[in-house]
């Protein structure tokens, strides 16, 4: 894992807003990375759309049963 460190001088009165904004930016970056990994998997997939749809339905049913939402 790569560690990235940087220092930013932020006026004390803006510290809270800066921290909130930075957390939002980092979360959006992580979400984008997650999406790009999923997209890459999808591009390389050999499943047809119908197969993927059936698989998704099976997963949804399994999760519903597991959580007691369906018998």
Take residue 65 and report the two structure tokens written for it.
């049963």
pTM for this prediction? 0.49
**Is 37 a domain residue?**
yes
pLDDT of 59 over the 80 cut: yes
Per-residue pLDDT tens digits for 3-45 = 988 899 999 999 999 999 999 999 999 888 888 887 887 788 8
Is residue 5 in a domain? Answer: no
Per the structure, the complete domain to which residue 26 belongs is given by: 17-66
Question: According to the model, what pLDDT value does residue 19 have?
Answer: 93
Residue 9 in any domain: the answer is no
Q: Quote helix, strand, coil % in the chain, to nearest 5.
A: 70, 0, 30
Q: Is residue 2 part of a domain?
A: no
Cα–Cα distance measured from residue 36 to residue 33, given in angstroms and rounded to the nearest whole number: 5
In a domain, 60, yes or no: yes
Given a contact cutoff of 8 angstroms between Cβ atoms, the answer to whether 15 and 8 are in contact is no
CA distance 71 to 60: 13
Q: What total number of domains does the chain contain?
A: 1
């Amino acid at each position: 894992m790569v560690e990235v460190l940087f220092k930013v001088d932020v006026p004390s009165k803006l510290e809270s807003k800066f921290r909130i904004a930075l957390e939002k930016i980092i979360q959006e970056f992580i979400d984008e990375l997650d999406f790009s990994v999923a997209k890459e998997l999808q591009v390389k997939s050999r499943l047809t759309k119908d197969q993927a749809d059936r698989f998704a339905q099976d997963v949804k049913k399994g999760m519903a049963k597991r959580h007691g939402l369906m018998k």
